[in-house]
Structure formats: structure tokens, C-alpha cells
Amino acid sequence: MSTDSAIQGVDAELRNSGIEVLGELPWGSHFCNFFESRDDLLQILVPYFKAGLVNNEFCLWITSDPVTVEVAYEALRNEVDDFADYEKKEQITILSHTDWYLKDNTFVPDIVINGWYEKLEKSLNKGFDGMRVSGNEAWLDRDVWKDFVDYERNLNNSLKEHHMIVLCTYPLDKCDAQSVFDVSQVHEVALTKRKGNWEIVEVPAIKQTKSQLARDKKALEDKVAERTKELTVINARLIREIEQHKITQDSLLRTEAKLRTVFDATDTAYILLESDLSILLFNHLAADFVRKVFNWDLKTGDHIHDFLTADRQVLFTDRVQKAVKGEQISYETNYVLKDESLLWYHVRLFPIPKDDDGIFGLVLALTDITERKLLENQLEKERIEKQLEITNAVITAEENERQEIGRELHDNIQQILVSAGLFLSMIKEKDISASGYSYLQQTNQMILSAINEIGNLSHSMITPFVEKTTLKEAIEKVIHTTTCTSGIKISMEAIGLDETKLSEKLRLTCYRIIQEQFSNILKYSKASSVLLKIVQDNEKLTLTIQDNGIGFDMSKKTSGIGLMNIKTRVSLFNGEVSIRSSPGQGFELYVLMKLK
């Protein structure tokens, strides 16, 4: 869309949601609310739209049972000061779902999505900051449910670059467990307010992390822009100096007096060499350079090889041969001083030609670029540190999300299923027919199976170290579970393992890598045996996981998301990851992480 393509930094701008549990949200947010009554619905939508009106946003409210267009208008008039002024500005529109979602009584997703963005473009052209939307989905029937969920997913994916916030509302009495799951999957945050109390279906930790990452990104961009400006100034000065050097080259050929004047006036070290590489002339900066770097007092008549180290003599001779042939020699190099400080120089070597196509000698020019290189290195260091901070933040948010979901599965859903199973078991066979009892038995069995699956899932998501379990015990539990469910024989060797020297984050990383790789083995390898080897010393910890499965051709198959996740985690410890496999020869994963 042309209007939004010119908008920069959409995600970084935060807007007041009007909903106390969410606080501020960036443009492009897409969340949903499950309501139980008309009062619950109005209690979330009225503050939501009030915040949009106050903050210069165009508001579009699509109503359905139990809130009519008239009820919606009346609710806003009672809560929003000067609501009539907003109506005169055409800042608020309230429509029935039949006037928006349905065309000839048929739901057409593309028409609805295009309608949102057409409204957005018109609102931006009228001077509004963006658009705030809510649609009540109480009208949905099961025959259009799948199409509507796909529509919600497409809308969620396309919103990110637009100045629009969307709140979808669903009645709880029309939503079964699968419906709640479907809706939560296609929204960033899902919540409900029932009888005055907030209940979070999906914790918005990821949303908060995105906002934080956006702020970090903006801060990093500002810092890079500032340092880049400094670097531009230094480069501009260097370019001016190089141009000055070109101008002074003619003066060098005319008279030694003019050459000496140029030598003493510039901030570049010059050494004039005879064709045999003996030193004919030099300025004070050249003398200072040779004394500081090579501990040598430069004198006319010295040979350039007198003070160069053996390795630099070989390189310099090679460059002289190229310069004599007319090649432009220009390079950057560094020198380590006795105090271990580092100096960087931009070096140029060019010949002084004779009229008969020979050369008088060579000019060696050295410009100190230490300040520029230090700035470049500092910028690169800061970029790497910030990237590691971002990576750490993402992994931490992911772990927090896993913990919350795991606890929710264990403490809520699993308890509901256990209670349901208990009630089923209390029904006596004599109370119902034989066929009915058979169905109850099957239902009870399915609930027990679901309880078991949810238990396994919640335990796999919750970090075992929260319960003060050691890394070795946690790994042994994973091995036991994997062996019992698959029949694969798994052997473990631990050499030098001392968990007191491992941080909790490193222990968690080891556990997640092993968990991830065992999952890959179960899915793809068809292996019958696995070897896990853990080796620790004072500087590093290594993991080696080998299986005797079918393997794969590494030249044809790319690394999957699992391996990418492992590499991301390992990068936090300056580590490395390698794999080795071939068809029919199994698979080996090798991971190294530094302890310091």
C-alpha cells in the first residue's frame, strides 16, 4: 500500500491500548478477547476506543450480538467527553457485521482485508495517526470457521508494516477448546475479562520483548549513525590528504628544497628511496615512526632492509617489484609496540619515473589511521555485543514463554482433565446402558492419555533446574524417557563434569541442545543406538551426540531450524557447532562452549 510504504519505524512507535493489563502496544498489533457477557465486552471496548479517539486515531467498531450499533454509540457517549466533536470529525464509525464482513450474505476474506487497508489509507490522508479496529465475531458459523481462521492468520502476517491496531472479540459460550486454541494461534496476545477479572490466555512476554528489541535497535542505530558520522569526518580528512599527496608528487620531482617543505608541512611520514632501496630523504614524521616502531634512528644512506624484520623484508620486496612495473601499491598494516599497543597505517608505494621510462627511485608514504581503525573496531565490538544481548533476550523470552506454557498445561489444563476423568470414573455401570458405558470407558481412556501427553509436554517445556535438579540428573531423565518411548539404546559418558563451575544459563543451554538433538533423532534418524559424550575441562565444555541412523548427504540437505537454534544458543558462549554425516553412516553433532 503506497501510504504505508513511506512510513519508517512502525514497530518502534508505541500507542496507549486503553487496556490496563496490556499498557502500550506498537502499531501492527493484533490481539483477541474472549468475552462472557455484554458488560464484559463493553468494559474492554469502550476504554480501547476512547484511547484511540484521544490519541488522534480513526476508530472502526464492527458490532454483533450482544452489542448493537445503537448500544455501542450510547456506551461511548456516556464515557467519552466531547464525543459529539469526534463524530463531527468523522473519527469514529460503528457498523453491523452484516455491513462489513458479508457481501451478498457471503464472507469473502480478500474483500474484508482490502477494506481494512482502504479505510486506513483514507484515515491517514485525513491527518489521523493511524486506525484502531475491533470486530465482534459472534456471528461466525462453523461452516466458515476455517476460512475465518485463515483470514485472521493472513491479517496477522500483513499488519506488521501498517499503522493499525486490531482487537478481535469472541463469545466464550460459542467457543470450545479447539476454537480457543485456533484463535490464540493467529493472534499475538489472547485475553479475557470475566466478571471484572482479567485472565491471560497467552502471556504477552513476546510482545514486550519485541518492544524492547525495537527500542534497543533504535538506540543501536543512533549510536552507529553517530560513530559513522565521526568516521566520515576522518575518511574525508584522509581523502583530502591523499589528494594533497598527489599534488605534491610533482614538487618532489622538481627540487629537494620544495620536497623538504612539503615533507615538514604534512602529517604523513615520507621516505624517498633510491632505486637500490637505500634512503635518500625522509621527514621528521618518518624518523619518529621508525624510532617508535623499529627502535631505529633513521639516517640518510640506510637501506630499508636494515630495520625491517625478516617477514616484512619479503613482503616489501614483493611490493617494490610490483610498483616498479607500474602497479598502484596501497594497503593497510599494523605494528605492535613494546607496550603491546597497536598502531595502524595506510601505506602507499609509488615510483618516481625518468623521461627514458626508467625510475629515479620510490616514494614510501605512511599515514597514521590508528584513530579510524580503533573507531571501526569499537563499532564492530559494540555491534557484536549488542547482537549477543539481543540473542540472549530472545532466548530468555523463549524460556520464560516455555515455562509459563508448561506451568499452565500442568497446573490448569491437566487438572481440568484429571477432574473430568475422576467424574467419569464415578459413574457406575448400572446407571447407564452397556453401550453407553463402553463409550464412557473409551472417553476415560482418552482423557488419561491426554493427561499423560500434557504431563510429558509440560515437563519437557519447564526447565528442570528450577526444581534444583542437576544437569546430569536432568539428562538421565531425558534418556530414560526417550528410551522408554522409542526403544533406542542410549549410552552416556561424562568426563570431568563439574557442575559447580557451570553457570545456570550454560547448564540450561546444554540441556536444551541435548533435548533438541534427541527430538531430531526420534523424528528422522531411524537409529537403534545413540552415544552422548560430555567432556569438561577448565576452559571449555564439549558435547558429542552420535547415532547409527540413516544419515544424509550433507551436500544436498540444508541445516534445519533445530540446528539454527543450537547455533544461536552456542553463540552466547563464543562456541562452535559442527556436524558430520553421510547416507547410511549415521549422524554426529559436535558442540563446544567456552566456560570463560
Using a pLDDT cut of 70, give the percent of the chain over it.
Answer: 75
Residue pLDDT, tens place only, 299-312: 888 888 888 888 88
Residue 7 has pLDDT above 50, yes or no: no
Residue 500 has pLDDT above 60, yes or no: yes
Q: What pLDDT score was predicted for residue 433?
A: 62
> Is 345 within a domain?
yes
> Is 230 within a domain?
no
Q: What is the DSSP track for 134-197?
A: EEE-TT--GGGHHHHHHHHHHHHHHGGGSSEEEEEEEEGGG--HHHHHHHHHTSSEEEEEETTE
The verdict on 288 and 189 lying in the same domain is no
Boundary-marking domain end, from 315, 335, 368: 368
> Is 78 within a domain?
yes
The verdict on 62 and 147 lying in the same domain is yes
Residue pLDDT, tens place only, 388-418: 666 666 666 665 565 556 555 545 554 556 5
The verdict on 61 and 127 lying in the same domain is yes
> Is 216 within a domain?
no
Q: pLDDT confidence of 95, banded at 50, 70, 90?
A: very high
Rounded to two decimals, what is the model's pTM? Answer: 0.37
Mean pLDDT of 497-502: 90
Task: Share the mean pLDDT of the chain.
Answer: 80
Boundary-marking domain end, from 202, 220, 235: 202
Number of domains in the chain: 4
> Is 478 within a domain?
yes
Q: How distant is the alpha carbon of residue 591 from its chain centre? A: 22
> Is 208 within a domain?
no
Residue pLDDT, tens place only, 414-467: 455 655 565 566 665 556 665 656 656 666 666 665 555 555 554 555 566 545
The verdict on 482 and 571 lying in the same domain is yes
The verdict on 454 and 478 lying in the same domain is no
CATH (domain of 579) = 3.30.565.10
Beta bridge partners of 364: 271, 349
Q: What pLDDT score was predicted for residue 6?
A: 31
> Is 277 within a domain?
yes
Q: What pLDDT score was predicted for residue 5?
A: 35
CATH (domain of 342) = 3.30.450.20
Q: pLDDT confidence of 11, banded at 50, 70, 90?
A: very low
Q: pLDDT confidence of 264, banded at 50, 70, 90?
A: low
Q: pLDDT confidence of 223, banded at 50, 70, 90?
A: confident
The verdict on 457 and 484 lying in the same domain is no
Residue pLDDT, tens place only, 161-220: 899 999 999 998 888 878 888 888 888 888 887 666 777 665 444 445 455 556 666 777
Q: What pLDDT score was predicted for residue 494?
A: 93
Q: What pLDDT score was predicted for residue 541?
A: 94
Strand ranges inside 238-325, DSSP E: 269-274, 279-282
Highest mean pLDDT among 105-119, 198-212, 368-382: 105-119
Q: What pLDDT score was predicted for residue 208?
A: 52
Using a pLDDT cut of 90, give the percent of the chain over it.
Answer: 23
> Is 169 within a domain?
yes
Q: Which domain holds residue 406?
A: 393-461
Mean pLDDT of 52-76: 93
C-alpha cell at 357: 621510462
Residue pLDDT, tens place only, 344-355: 888 888 887 776
Q: pLDDT confidence of 134, banded at 50, 70, 90?
A: very high
Higher pLDDT, 387 or 547: 547
The verdict on 567 and 472 lying in the same domain is yes
Q: Residues 6 or more apart from 403 whose CB is under 8 A from it?
A: 461, 462, 463, 466
